Amino acid sequence: MIAALQAYAAWCGEWIGTGESENGAQVKVRLWLDSAMHGEILRMRLEVNLPGALSPGIAALGMIGVDPESRLRMGLWSSLSGNFVLDQLPDDADVLALAGRTPRGSDLTLSLLAVDERLQINWLWRKAGETEGTRLSASLARLQPIAIGG
């Protein structure tokens, strides 16, 4: 894996957990992270289920890599927001924080942080220029493969 992504290599795998939005609505989250293209990118797949909601939830696919100016960026497709690019935000070394503007004019901030064998995911959607928006947060545990047989 390239040096710019090496800090996140330990996060590769399948993660699942629950969380909530700022208004207390429960969410179920499933996240897959893996290295691809000979370690040049970190591939992400995210599913968010809002139990009891009218919509089936949110699905997102993303690829995180380094652009020609050596910046960490993520190309993201989301069932909620369409296709757009997120740029890495300055943060602590153990946090991956990304932000960008969706084609519909909303701002999205996404962060991942490892905390005690779990992965914390947080995101904030807000209309451009506003400080308040929809916040979701979830704590994810790594899914362990089931050993079949002896």
Averaged pLDDT for residues 126-146: 86
C-alpha dist (Å) from residue 57 to 13, 27, 78, 115, 136: 22, 9, 11, 25, 13
Number of domains in the chain: 1
CA distance 69 to 64: 14
CA distance 105 to 102: 5
Residue 147 covered by a domain: no
Residue 73 covered by a domain: yes
In this predicted model, what pLDDT tens digit does every residue of 66-84 receive, in sequence order? 999 989 999 999 987 889 9
Residue 148 covered by a domain: no
What is the domain range of residue 44? 3-142
Residue 46 covered by a domain: yes
In this predicted model, what pLDDT tens digit does every residue of 7-40 receive, in sequence order? 999 999 999 999 998 778 889 999 999 999 999 9
Residue 32 covered by a domain: yes
Residue 149 covered by a domain: no
* CATH label of the domain that carries residue 82: 2.40.128.20
> What's the CA dihedral at 11, 16, 18, 23 to 10 degrees?
60
Q: Which residue has the higher pLDDT, 144 or 19?
A: 19
Contact present, 40 and 65 (Cβ < 8 Å): yes
The phi and psi torsions of 15 (rounded to 5 degrees) equal -125, 145
